[in-house]
Structure 1
């Protein structure tokens, strides 16, 4: 069994995350996200997906990046007939 480094739970299904030469042990994705996911520099939420980078800063979405001055960033490219 291994102990989660966030909540301290001793759990037989804990897992390791190897990142930048360090090994982290968690009992859930919730704990892993709370410890490792970056924070959006506009709204403060954890960036769980791809996020958006603008001027060396990270945001959870294009909307938050635009709120901080990004002008050429979009959530997705809209193409094709019938797309708005």
Structure 2
């Protein structure tokens, strides 16, 4: 079942405003449980985690920045 354009926009907003800050707090908390690794390893882990969070939501974010494909075209 595909999400409509408006539903994807709403879910994208919820994910970015609520989900992403929660994910950041969890990632930092988990990293702090293991102690402070070398700076290069810490940077690598945060870079990988920064990309991994978006992969499950790729279908939600695709096309959200474009115009609504279902909207009526003006001037016609």
- TM-score, normalisation: structure 1: 0.24
Please state which structure has a larger fraction of its residues in helix.
2
Give the structure, 1 or 2, with the largest relative contact order (CA under 8 Å, sep 6 or more): 2
Q: Which has the higher strand share?
A: 1
TM-score (norm 2): 0.25
